[in-house]
Chains A and B, each alone.
Chain A
């Protein structure tokens, strides 16, 4: 348990938040396009695959930091 007063890094928090929100906007836009395609095209499997892959990669990279797994510190 922490008993000492902690230093709050406001600038670091703001910068990381900005990155997360940009990723969120991309996810939102891709989800909307995905839904539009699915409800307008007869066989939407192939056209939708890139959107699913892109959304998955955004979550893995921006939120789960997959590229940092094997780097020192890892985050």
Chain B
């Protein structure tokens, strides 16, 4: 089944046109659907499944921006969204496929909602970073406006992910909050985008800084998702 992931990565890397991007997304959705059907749940456990889900989320969340009027003809942007999705799909490949059933504590819709919303948010933060890069390269202000929208919707998904995670935690562990490095970095990420959204009030003099902060935000996102699992000891990681 991994050939679907390889195929979609190849298509993403050649996605200078929208139909190619759509075909890549379709292949990746097929891969995730087959994984989900095989497992009887959303594939959200372990590095391979989460990286593939993240890659697919990036492509899915890019769609409204790729089809937006402001960015029509911006092939560089289409390609960079495809390249970002391909990067995480390719990163998923070396990891082993985990086919185990969900441990009882994870077997709840709150968990699936929490993780899926977090990845949608991460994906939108990624798209926001690309839009920030677009603004810095081209100086076109519509990139910056779209970056703000991507980050705002991402922030909303992320806040909802924290709420659903808190509800899950309360039913699973008796508390909506645990002091783990993952939760600390989740808070840092939430505070970071709170700061980003407040910075908008500072006006146009801050445009370049705003774009850069949107890019740095994605680095914080990657550390929260991957860095914490690799560098810090936390029971709350993949």
Q: Do A and B come from one complex?
A: no
Please give the residue numbers on chain B whose beta carbons come within 8 Å of chain A beta carbons, in ascending order: none
